[in-house]
Structure 1
Amino acid sequence: MHSPNGDLYHREREMGLLQGAVGELALGRPTVATIHGPHGIGKSALLNAVPRLLPPGTLVLRARCHPSESQFPYSMVSQLFDPVLGGAGGPGTPGPGLGEAGPTHEALLGLLRTTRSLAVDRPVAILVDDLTNADPHSLRWFSYIARRLDDLPVLMVATLPASAAAQVAEQLGPLPYLLRLWPEPLCPTCTTELVDRAFDSPVDQELAALCHTLAHGNPLVLHDLVTRLRRTHVPPGSPDPEQVLPIGAQALSETVLAWLDEDDPCASELLTQLAVLGPDTEPAVSAALSKHGEVHDQQARETLVRAGLLEAGAPGRFTHTAVRPAVLARVSAHERLVLHGRAAAVLARLGAPARQTADQLILAGCDWGIDVLRGAGIQAAGVGDHESAARYLRRALTLLEQRGAPGAEGDENAAKEAREREESFLDLTVRLGAVELHRDLDSCSRQAAAAADSPLGPVRRAEALARLASPALVSRIEGAQPFVRVCGELAALPAPPREHLLRLTAQTLLTGHRSGLRRAARLAAADPGDPAAHVFAGALAAAAAASGRLGTARRMALRVAAGPAGAPEGTAPASTAGPVGAALALTWTGDLDGAAALADRLISMSRASDDHATTLLAHLVRSEVRHRRDAHTDAHTDAEAALHLARRLNAPALAGAAAAAAARALVGLGRVAEAAALLTGEPAAGDAHPFIKALSLQAHGTVAAALGDHTAAVRLFLDCGHRLALRGITHPGCVTWRAQAAASYRALGEEAASATILDGAPRQRGTAPRPRPQPRQPERARTLLSPAEQRVAELVVRGSSSLEVAEKLFLSKRTVDTHLGRIYRKLGIHSRHELAGAIGEELPV
């Protein structure tokens, strides 16, 4: 606890030393005291406390120096002696014998005699504030007199900035009666007392601590800060830190930072650099920017540490969050851009890490540095910072686009430049797509589409897309189209690259297309054990299971699950299309144990490689497996994990699939209202894969059936089957919509319709085929058909061909044929003539 000395806090030591000097004065012995310290530390307050310590009758000579008077010879001497001697001229007029050319020895001797004569019968105290601002003549006098006080009762006290300490030590250091004072910053206790006193009431301890940190124990800064807080009516008992910090930043700007500009421009320049570029800026960079050299840079850093703006250490940190805003408020936007640009150039010249240079390039808006940005993107992606990697690569692509096309057509150099530009564009596009695969699947799809439009030829396009191949991208038509198109181009070549064709064909198989299938199958058969062949085999297994070739699908899936020959156990596959396809095939063929084991392995490997897209798909597969095992709690956990990842990856189609899986699990847990709310709150992607749309329809049907709306449930289940048929997914085990539709038919009392819909469902081995239902009565038959099916049936029985029906109803012929197939199954018939009888109309002859 420090007791106050009047208005002085935390100054017991300094006041004691001054009291000792006054005691020496009373004994007729001299003292020269210098008070050093930064602006605002209280040097003048200590100087002003000296007169009340002096013995009675002491002659006090006072002067306060100002830079504006430094051009007037002996201006400080005149302030000291004119009140006593009665100078004839105005302020700054030299006394008798003092010329303007400079202090001669005779003049200095004359002033010494004057001082001696004044100290003959009484002590003399000479008090000078801001001595360093005195004119050169007066400074020479002060030094001359101070060294010649051995037998005089004279006390000389002067305040000086900390930067003048070395100069004083050089000139006056040997004096035996020299006393040097360094006032310390206020302690937290004194700061709290001063703040309490200013607010006239106890303040919140956090506010007092914040004031102490911002002021760094500087009394003048603290006084300015508290005055501003009171002026803005900050409540002392419950202050808002968000309100205090801007006020603190403004106080720092108008005190400490202003003093720094005046006293040490180099330190002020360094502080600006650190505020704009960041406190982690290396000394070599800041030294190169300031052009003062590393020695001056280190001295400037020490000044900032003493000023309480920077923490000690390399690199230094700002002492408080308010420091940087205070500095930045003094820097214009143009100055910031210039500084960022200079920093980028210096960093590139010094060979700094690409990411550090790239950050400055982006902030400065420079029109150069594509290679630096590319390197920064690679570095950031390598450490898993995909957000920064995407920012760097997008900026590089923007700069490349801004360059425009090269020179005149027909010029060989222009053609070479154009080729190099397209190569660079494709490389940056693929790198950006690979990064977006970890953070934004929609953006990755756009990069894949841009790569598919490259003019560099089908092989380069295929090579680029093979690097982006992920089953997560085929969840939307937009993401699938580039792979289908480029795969078709590649398959048409006389000798397509084997690996690229196998990987792209695997990707297109998962979309439901078969571009390049025959050729890829021949290439895979030539070496079925390599990684590319395993990727293709996994996707082919899923396609085989979807079309009902269960034995083939299961054999291929098990081979893929075992991994390529010679691959270390636990190694992540080069492409996840194979394992994901194999996991789907095992699920659809009923090998739930194998599917669960493969899904577990995929989750483990994809998490280790930070592959969120594959983790999402694996959670969906495992949720499906657990749903089929009636482990609804676990299925819901997996579905929720997949939904979280889908939202994080900006994948609305996969979010819809995850929501559908979660809703089914919730229905299994009896939480039907939650399931309905989940499906309502998750918007469906308009261009989702038909399989995902079918999953969503099945989930909506499941919820409708659980709510008792079996009419709506039947409609949803039948639409689900229609979507699956459009993509050739004919195996009923892929999505169990038939059994659910049959249950809803039975709930409606439609036993015959239930039996018909189950005719295509999987049967247990050894059971006899179900008897085919007889054609229904016309009135009853019509009620089984949806409005769309009734319109198709009516036109068919009137003699229209499928193509004519399609033209009249504005449908595709394939859709009409699908409607007919569903109509035949519902009514238990096989031909158009049977259709006429079933609905009570006759075909025209």
Structure 2
Amino acid sequence: MHPQFSLQGEKCSILTRSGVGQAMAVLGSASTVGLVAELLAADEAEVRTAVRRLAAGSSGRALFDDFDIGDRILRDTPAEVRRELHCRAAKLLHDRGFPSATVAEHLVAANAADYPWAASVLLTAAEEALANDQIDRAVDRLELAYRATRDPADRAAIAIRLVRAEWRFSPSNRTRNYSRVRAAIRASRVPTAQVPAAVMFMLWHGQTQHADQALGQLDCGRLDDAAPTIDFLCAWLRTSHPPHAQRHRRLLAAQARRRPVPAERPSPHLLGAELLTGLFTGRPFDETVTLARRLLTRHRLAASTVETLAAAVHCLIYTNRLDTAAAWCDSLLAEAEARQAPTWQSIFAGLRAETMLRKGNARAAIDDAVLALNYVPAAHLGVWIGTPIAALVRALTMAGRHADAEAQLRRPVPRALFESRFGLPYLHARGHHQLAVARADEAQRTFRRCGHLMRRWQMDFPWLVPWRNDLAAAHLALGEHRHARAFATRHLDLLGAATQHRTGGVSLRLVAATGDRYQRVRLLRDAAAIARSGGCDLELATALGELGAAHRAVGDHDKSRMLIREATRLADSCGADPLLHDLVGDRPRRTAPHVSHLRRPSNGLDALSPAERRVAELAAHGKRNRDIAAALDITTSTVEQHLTRVYRKLEIARRTELTFVFGSARPSKAGSSVSVTG
């Protein structure tokens, strides 16, 4: 026993300034003469005398404002004495009605929670810490509450809260708490209210057996115990993990029969369930967008809402509200960064990459997808990894960086990815890469697999993944025009009208490739109009380029030049180098279906005189007119005349287009390689 005082007795055997200082250091800003006296079981008058010796003239309200002094005293206090002081302080402050956060500080410092009220205090304090983004503090309190709890169901609930807290910065399935949740599922100890969270954790990592076991508990449980979260879980299963929904039809049927109680301010889970259910059952897009905005506007990003907010952004993407989706991704990313939640950052960076991809901006999609794969180790991203990898592969393919795209496709992904919606864009991206590198037969098999999964899951929506357009493009690459036309036309039939979705314009463009030259102009004009309103610059560049070629085929060269000029500008801004070179280069096209069939007439360069070609080559390499004149020993006026004739013969409008015609090396704005960890 420490000689300063006896904590076991009713009174201090020796009351010294050192003992009072230790008690004051433990109580910190809560210390008063009365509390110090109670903590030491000493007479208040004696404590006041000791305090006066420590600091003459101090009042009894806040005796220990200098935390540095307190820390030094506590460091010099023996561990056993310090632990017992914290234990007694916890009980004392709890009995006096101090806030849970203050009491929990002492419980954690003592590493003990033997009091019957300790677990409740620790859980309340943990929630407050989480609300203030103090994750380490929250985990400490939850861990102690777990040890203090004896009921298996309560322990399972705390373990799930621990996993949720850790998930923000490390969504790993190899942590102690994740193992605790798995054990609780095997023992059927997870409370009904916590089952949805447990299922989502299991499905994230593709642990389907554990997810099915947890869902089996819901089949036999009372759904009213956690109605909104179960509503969202059921909607999430139908739309993101359909094989599980099909295996648990009884649960989904029971949830569908239950009528939700109208709420003045619906929970995010209730709104999320309504949003997903409506989108995948044919609700008009405008209503879906209104509901998504309502969810995003009314509810803040939190551990319990990240799935619902991500679902809302995905709905905006599917309904082609790309600018709105991009704005919300930026907002949610900023909030996730401010709250130091790398997992959330990865999710919303992945969604922004998908948004930029659909806008046709290959450079931005690459940057965002790489960020999504680098915020946390890629091995921890589970089936969600399908989103950023799909966006990255597709964007690299657009940019003509086929070796980098192939490298990303070699990255290991969970087998369960192809039992989830996140596997569909992955297959879509892989098929487009195969098509871009002239493996059309392989691309056909990949696209057919995607379509087979969508039909089997009863999710064959043309706006989700346009696999029929993809197959049409593959058939076109193989010269099978009849099959290409059939698949593109079927996609249009499912849309109802080409103008219903941006993919309708792609269908028109594919059908145009199978028709005569006059029909082609009409169809491509409609395709370009849809692309312009759909917000995808790359598709617009492709449609305009093909429309320019169609006008040239019917003899309208002025219109052709104007269209190709705009297409070239758009392709350059998108970072779509293959399309850019097809528009202004001199090599035939063998790339993905979004890339135009255009190429320069083979005799374009041959039409130049030797003098014109020398001038044009120097201009293509960035030489100014006076430098060219000096190099060739001619006048500046002669250089200008040569260039005028070169522009006319090559059907180009500006000097910069010479760079592509002559194959000059251009530094890539997107970088030479993709650097991703994991």
Residue type of the alignment partner of 1:390: V
Q: Which residue of 2 aligns with 1:383?
A: 132
Residue 72 (structure 1) aligns with: none
State the SS of the aligned residue for 2:280. Answer: helix
Match of 1:355 in 2: 101
> What is aligned with 2:123?
374
Superposed CA RMSD in Å reads: 5.5
- Residue pair 1:370, 1:399 contacting (<8 A) in 2 also: yes
- Contact 2:235–2:273, Cα closer than 8 Å, also in 1: yes
Question: 2:51 maps to what in 1?
Answer: 298
Per-residue CA deviations over 1:375-421 (Å, capped at 9, x if unaligned) read 322332232323322221222122224xxxxxxxxxxxxxxxxxxx4
Q: CA deviation at 1:660?
A: 3.5
Q: 1:552 aligns with which of 271, 274, 283?
A: 283
TM alignment of 1:481-560, pairs within 5 A: 481=212, 484-489=215-220, 499=228, 502-510=231-239, 511-512=241-242, 513=245, 515=249, 516-521=251-256, 523=258, 531=266, 534-544=271-281, 551-552=282-283, 554=285, 557-558=288-289, 560=291
* 1:584 alignment partner in structure 2: 314
Counterpart-to-counterpart distance in 2, 1:708 and 1:440 = 40
1:787: which partner in 2? Answer: none
State the 1:539 CA deviation. Answer: 1.8
Counterpart in the other structure of 1:639 = 369
User: One-letter code of the match for 1:400?
Assistant: T
Q: Tell me the residue number matched to 2:635.
A: none
CA apart distance, 1:485: 3.3
Partner secondary structure for residue 318 of structure 1 = helix
Identity of aligned residues (%): 20
TM-score (norm 2): 0.52
1:315 to 46, 65, 75: 65
The structural deviation recorded for 1:762 is 2.7
Following superposition, the deviation at residue 694 of structure 1 comes to: 3.8
Q: Residue type matched to 1:561 in 2?
A: A
SS of corresponding position for 1:384: coil
Given residue 541 of structure 1, which amino acid in structure 2 is its aligned partner? G
**What residue is the counterpart of 1:393 in the other structure?**
142
Give the Cα–Cα distance (whole angstroms) in 2 for the partners of residues 527 and 602 of structure 1: 28
Q: In the aligned structure 1, how far is the partner of 2:109 from the partner of 2:349? A: 40
Tell me if the contact between 1:656 and 1:696 (Cα under 8 Å) persists in the aligned partners. yes
Displacement of 1:630 in angstroms is 0.4
Match of 1:358, SS state, is helix
For 1:560 and 1:371, the matched residues in 2 are separated by: 37
8 Å Cα contact 2:199-2:215 kept in structure 1? no
Q: Which amino acid aligns with 1:365?
A: N
Structure 1: any 5+ residue segments left out of the alignment? 1-263, 306-311, 402-420, 545-550, 774-845
1:436-835 to structure 2, matched below 5 A, reads: 436=166, 438-441=168-171, 461-465=191-195, 468=197, 474-478=203-207, 481=212, 484-489=215-220, 499=228, 502-510=231-239, 511-512=241-242, 513=245, 515=249, 516-521=251-256, 523=258, 531=266, 534-544=271-281, 551-552=282-283, 554=285, 557-558=288-289, 560-561=291-292, 563=294, 570-572=298-300, 580-581=310-311, 583-590=313-320, 592=322, 596=326, 617-643=347-373, 647=377, 650-670=380-400, 683-688=412-417, 689-700=419-430, 720-721=450-451, 724=454, 727-736=457-466, 749=478, 751=480, 755=484, 758=487, 762-763=491-492, 764=498
SS at match of 2:460: coil
Structure of higher RCO (CA pairs closer than 8 Å, 6+ residues apart): 2
Structure 1 residue 562, shift from structure 2 partner: 5.6
Q: 1:581 to 1:346 in 2, by over 3 A?
A: closer
Distance 1:670 1:569, change over 3 A: same
Query: 1:471 & 1:427 partners in 2: Cα distance?
Result: 14
Which one-letter code corresponds to 1:394 in the other structure? E
CA contact (8 A) 1:535 1:576 kept: no
How far the C-alpha of 1:618 sits from its partner, in A, is 4.6
Provide TM-score, normalisation by structure 1.
0.43
Q: How far does the alpha carbon of each residue in 1:654-700 deviate from its partner, in whole angstroms, 9 at most, with x for none? A: 245324323433443455555555666x6534444533234444445
- How many residue pairs were aligned? 461
**Shift of residue 627 of structure 1?**
0.7
1:634–1:584 CA distance, 2 compared to 1 (3 A): same
More helix by proportion, 1 or 2?
Answer: 2
CA distance in 1, matches of 2:202, 2:347: 11
Distance in structure 1 (CA, Å) of the matches to 2:225 and 2:101: 38
Change in CA separation of 1:598 and 1:349 when aligned onto 2, cut-off 3 Å: closer
- 1:206-252, Cα deviation, whole Å (9 max, x unpaired): xxxxxxxxxxxxxxxxxxxxxxxxxxxxxxxxxxxxxxxxxxxxxxx
SS of 1:552's partner is: coil
Contact 2:206 2:414 in 1 (8 A): no
